[in-house]
Structure 1
Amino acid sequence: MIPRAGALQGVSAGLSLAVGYGIGVLISGLWSLLELPRPGMQTLRRAVWAALVFAGAVIIWGLAGAAGGQQPLHDAMGLPPVESARPWTIAAVGGVLAAILIFLGRLFVAAMQTISRRLTPMWPPRLAMLVAFLATVIIFNFIGNDLILNRIVSGLDLSYAGIDAMISDEIDPPQDPLKTGSPASLISWDSIGNQGRNRVSDPLDAAAIADITGEPAMEPIRVYVGLGSAETAEDRARLALDEAIRVGAFDRKTLVIATPTGTGWIDPSGAFPLEVLTHGDVATISVQYSYLPSWLSLLTVPEYGAESAREVFLAIYHHWRSLPRDARPKLYLFGLSLGALNSDLSVDFFDLVGDPFTGAFWVGPPFASHSWGQITADRDPGSPAWLPTFRDGAVVRFLNQFEMPQSGQPWGSFRIAYLQYGSDAITFFSPSILWREPDWMKAPRAPDVVENFRWIPVVTFLQVGFDLLTATTTPKGFGHDIAGTDYLKGWVALLSPEGWNDPALDRVRAAMAERGL
């Protein structure tokens, strides 16, 4: 799905080779454990040599087509041609990694056999083997997880905490009382973290918006609460509400709860068109729940993001709901990636029945997103998994970088928009790829998923799993790197702002292109 450097492709190839070898060893071990008949030694040698010749032929065939196989993907994303030395890089990296992993596998087997031999005189052979296996798993888990992995995670945690605490000399604390971190703010400048300071200091102000639109504009309100601003998720949510009330966020025409990614980042490409389309008459409220990258945050403390998002939503929603219907802003939820997942988890059905908020814009939803998964599974028959249509489109609509189905049909007052790319492994990965071809690989495919990408059990699972790690390394508009122009399409559809014709929207696109969004 994602173009890769030769070294990373070599890692994928080495892992695939080691997994294949491991499956073979596992089958052989089970065969012996069940005491099934074994072929003679001569027949076994022939079978082994035949397997080696076949495997060698497959490896040579795969390496010969490595460059050509990636070229359609480079062409689809406008990247330079694949380097001719790639097969050699893949072979070198893959061979070394496979050798290391196979050595570790053999070390595991040797440890298990040693323990089993010591237990056999006391216990039945099969029971001894089972206990030896469990004991070896515990030992390797302790060494790999508790001694190695936990230290790596702790090191990363300290590193990202340090990055989050860094204060750039290029960013001065704001003096405008409407800004978080100003002398009048309830939230200190130091406590909102690196991402919070970048968000609050975004140079898109009223003058810049007016220059783009040619009309008067207001100063956008950006409330941001960092991890260091309060001790608990509940306290941070309450602080966000108090700050929002202080700066008049509920007096704006549009109010957005923008759930950040794992590091606390709010994508400027998504915030820019929102603030321009509303002429600055908008307030966004964001509360940081982690300073780790989304994938690491999801693996280590997945409950933090959901808990934080829920507390923030309840605090803001209950105050918003207490306001007169004709004197309160339109309330939207927004999130990218892990922010989309946690934003979705912040709401339950009962929040929508009595007094629903206005809508949600969820971008690049991770494959674990509950609502997204249910809606995709229940999509209209015949609509592709990578761009579904759901019922009459009155509530939920999908868009990608190429189109937005149902855009010409009436849309209700409560709206949910999903922006996703077909080449985004973060959205379309699934554990079931291990044994079943996913729907998004079936015809017709998304334009950014090449036809020569075939499903192979286990192998495709590993390939798409690696794509999870590189999903943000693509050019904008592919993978998990969302283009500002696609955010713009989503916000236009969701907000239905008045007075925005094609020439006016072209000016917004030009301004985003000038800023690299």
Structure 2
Amino acid sequence: MAAALTPSLIPRSAVLQGVLCGLSLIAGYAIGGLARLVWQGLGLPQFSDRVKRLLLLGSGLFAAGLVLASLWLSLGWQNDIRLSMGLAPEQSGRLILVLAIALAVASVLLLLSRLFLKVARLVEGRANRFLSRRLAWMLGVGTAAFLFWSIGNGILVSRVLAVMDSAYAAIDATIQTDIAPPADPIKTGSAASLVDWQGIGHEGRNTVAAWPTAADITALSGAAALEPIRVYVGLNSAADVEVRAEMALAELLRVGAFDRSLLVIATPTGTGWVDQAGMAPLEILHGGDVASVSVQYSYLPSWLSLLVAPEYGRSTARAVFRKVYGHWASLPADERPRLFLFGLSLGALNSSLSADLLDVIEDPFDGALWVGPPFASQAWRDATAGRDPVSPVWRPVFRDGRILRFANQGTGFLQPDEDPEDWGRLRIGYLQYPGDPITFFAPDSLLHEPEWLKEPRGPNLPPGLRWYPIVTTLQGLLDVVTATQPPPGHGHVYAASDYLKAWTDLTAPVGWQADGMARIGYALRERGL
């Protein structure tokens, strides 16, 4: 339990800290019980009752002292993380709540484990009448495991998933009262649009109505700007993936998207969200001369979408890319926009799966910006594993950097004195924060120290962060759940200022000097991006 109080990547609330401590306490209890069984099974010498009592008392006092000391220190550890993110510090009253929740969670789990053993022993006792002792034991444990799994997965999990599905479906269908259907005919959902306003869903309407407008861009640049084109097709716009992809292409053609200088296939996250902080800088940098297209594949959070139906995102991203790229590739090279792919989180994973480079190698698209790729992204894992061994896992250098590059907070893809031409015709960039648990969660941290914890460490990692078997994995899972709670620039919340630098390096906009870039940065910060 003491190790569970040490810091991780994301500040934890008292409730989550208590849950983590309770889980760790039971894990330690289980390890102790297993060690006892192994000791007895090996026939090692047994201690006398008096020695057992002394050992139990001594170890109990030591553990209690260690836990209380760690509990007190944990307040400082958590506040160090919070202050580094610009968050208000926690108060000492949190410690009592953490301890109470930890004991409650551990007690419930202990009762469940004893109930499991009671069921197993009951079945074993009945089976002993006609089976050998070993087979009876196996039958008892197997029966108990089957019953607990059936109740947990078949009833509790299914019911929870059904409730969550209904809740997120209702959110997606909710029409915001403060966002009216657009009057501008180039907007998706307008009277002239091929896509119905209601069918594009909650996140689709937010995307279409998002800042900036042409007037906003003009105010920042001082030059006349175009209205950004944002085509969005919702999950309820059509029942079939291929039909939704065809609708997206038809809408792009209707609004003249292929006449713009840049076209972006923006793959949304699980809920259908397209990060405004990611697209706004690009639209400003290019004077609104940007068209983007997004097709929704789910209304569930990314982690739930990936768990329940991962194939939906992949199939949708591939269908959209085939349609858009197919038309784009049919146009004369000097009469078509530059084509980029974009995705955040699950959107980055699905976007990276949308195109087979062997299919486009003769006429490649111009580049991709994949942000906060989930640890399950195979393309990201392969690139990271293939890095120059001298480069750290959080800022890999991949081969000669002609195609693929990585960036972190406050850094770009290009070095300050580097010639942009050193980055080749096809530019693929991964923007990732060293403290993003969705990117750097390591399932094998259960027994092995993850690479990102080794020296040299990435910037902004808590200095007290250490690896502990099992505990680090539990901490990482909770960090994944809470990764979007920090302010922009931390965790899995990517700041518009980092997007601004990334898009600048990727797309090389013209006409912006240092003072203009500063104005963009200020405007983005004013909007909390």
Output the TM-score relative to the length of structure 1: 0.96
Q: What residue is the counterpart of 2:475 in the other structure?
A: 463
Of 287, 312, 317 in structure 2, the residue corresponding to residue 309 of structure 1 is 317
Matches of residues 144-223 of structure 1 in structure 2 within 5 Å?
144-223=152-231
CA distance in 1: counterparts of 2:240 and 2:56, whole angstroms: 60
The AA in structure 1 aligned to 2:29 is Y
Moved more, 212-221 or 63-72: 63-72
Identity %, equivalent residues? 49
Of 451, 454, 465 in structure 2, the residue corresponding to residue 439 of structure 1 is 451
Q: What residue is the counterpart of 1:402 in the other structure?
A: 410
- Checking the alignment, whether the CA contact within 8 Å between 1:389 and 1:405 is kept in structure 2 is no
Of 479, 484, 503 in structure 1, the residue corresponding to residue 496 of structure 2 is 484
> 1:405, CA displacement in angstroms?
5.8
User: Aligned pair 1:412/2:424, yes or no?
Assistant: yes
CA distance in 2: counterparts of 1:516 and 1:72, whole angstroms: 23
Q: What residue is the counterpart of 1:424 in the other structure?
A: 436
> 1:87, CA displacement in angstroms?
2.2
Moved more, 282-291 or 319-328: 319-328
Q: What residue is the counterpart of 1:39 in the other structure?
A: 46
The AA in structure 2 aligned to 1:341 is L
Of 464, 475, 500 in structure 1, the residue corresponding to residue 512 of structure 2 is 500
- Checking the alignment, whether the CA contact within 8 Å between 1:256 and 1:331 is kept in structure 2 is yes
Of 284, 288, 309 in structure 2, the residue corresponding to residue 276 of structure 1 is 284
> 1:23, CA displacement in angstroms?
2.5
Matches of residues 48-447 of structure 1 in structure 2 within 5 Å?
48-404=56-412, 406-407=414-415, 408-409=418-419, 410-447=422-459
CA distance in 1: counterparts of 2:509 and 2:414, whole angstroms: 18
Moved more, 71-80 or 293-302: 71-80
- Checking the alignment, whether the CA contact within 8 Å between 2:197 and 2:205 is kept in structure 1 is yes
Q: What residue is the counterpart of 2:20 in the other structure?
A: 12
Task: Summarize deviations over 1:203-222 as a string: whole Å, max 9, x none.
Answer: 42212111111111111111
CA distance in 1: counterparts of 2:84 and 2:176, whole angstroms: 38
User: Aligned to 1:286, what secondary structure does the other structure show?
Assistant: strand
The answer for unaligned runs of 5 or more in structure 1 is none
Moved more, 259-268 or 172-181: 172-181
User: Aligned to 1:250, what secondary structure does the other structure show?
Assistant: helix
- Checking the alignment, whether the CA contact within 8 Å between 1:364 and 1:420 is kept in structure 2 is yes
CA distance in 2: counterparts of 1:493 and 1:259, whole angstroms: 21
- Checking the alignment, whether the CA contact within 8 Å between 1:187 and 1:229 is kept in structure 2 is yes
> 1:18, CA displacement in angstroms?
1.3
User: Aligned to 1:185, what secondary structure does the other structure show?
Assistant: coil
CA distance in 1: counterparts of 2:60 and 2:134, whole angstroms: 31
Change (3 A) 1:203 1:381: closer
The AA in structure 2 aligned to 1:470 is T
Moved more, 230-239 or 34-43: 34-43
Q: What residue is the counterpart of 2:4 in the other structure?
A: none
Moved more, 361-370 or 375-384: 375-384
> 1:175, CA displacement in angstroms?
2.1
Task: Summarize deviations over 1:329-380 as a string: whole Å, max 9, x none.
Answer: 1110000111111111112231342221111001111111111111111111
- Checking the alignment, whether the CA contact within 8 Å between 2:199 and 2:235 is kept in structure 1 is yes
User: Aligned pair 1:511/2:523, yes or no?
Assistant: yes
> 1:498, CA displacement in angstroms?
1.3
Task: Summarize deviations over 1:90-128 as a string: whole Å, max 9, x none.
Answer: 111111111111111111111111111111121111122
CA distance in 1: counterparts of 2:48 and 2:318, whole angstroms: 64
- CA RMSD, Structure 1 to Structure 2 (Å): 1.6
CA distance in 2: counterparts of 1:50 and 1:36, whole angstroms: 24
> 1:269, CA displacement in angstroms?
0.7
- Checking the alignment, whether the CA contact within 8 Å between 2:412 and 2:505 is kept in structure 1 is no
CA distance in 2: counterparts of 1:237 and 1:28, whole angstroms: 60
CA distance in 2: counterparts of 1:349 and 1:272, whole angstroms: 28
> 1:282, CA displacement in angstroms?
0.9
The AA in structure 2 aligned to 1:169 is T
Change (3 A) 1:223 1:375: same
Of 10, 29, 39 in structure 2, the residue corresponding to residue 2 of structure 1 is 10
The AA in structure 2 aligned to 1:442 is K
Task: Summarize deviations over 1:470-515 as a string: whole Å, max 9, x none.
Answer: 1111121110111111110110011011122211111111221222
Change (3 A) 1:405 1:255: closer
CA distance in 2: counterparts of 1:246 and 1:189, whole angstroms: 16
> 1:168, CA displacement in angstroms?
1.6
The answer for unaligned runs of 5 or more in structure 2 is 1-8
The AA in structure 2 aligned to 1:496 is A
Change (3 A) 1:172 1:5: same
Count of aligned pairs between the two proteins: 516
Task: Summarize deviations over 1:407-456 as a string: whole Å, max 9, x none.
Answer: 32511110111111111101100101111111111122122102211111
> 1:45, CA displacement in angstroms?
4.3
CA distance in 2: counterparts of 1:257 and 1:152, whole angstroms: 33
Moved more, 391-400 or 490-499: 391-400
User: Aligned to 1:65, what secondary structure does the other structure show?
Assistant: helix
- Checking the alignment, whether the CA contact within 8 Å between 1:112 and 1:133 is kept in structure 2 is yes
User: Aligned to 1:228, what secondary structure does the other structure show?
Assistant: coil
Output the TM-score relative to the length of structure 2: 0.94
Change (3 A) 1:144 1:30: farther
- Checking the alignment, whether the CA contact within 8 Å between 1:9 and 1:90 is kept in structure 2 is yes
Moved over 6 A (4+): none
User: Aligned to 1:237, what secondary structure does the other structure show?
Assistant: helix
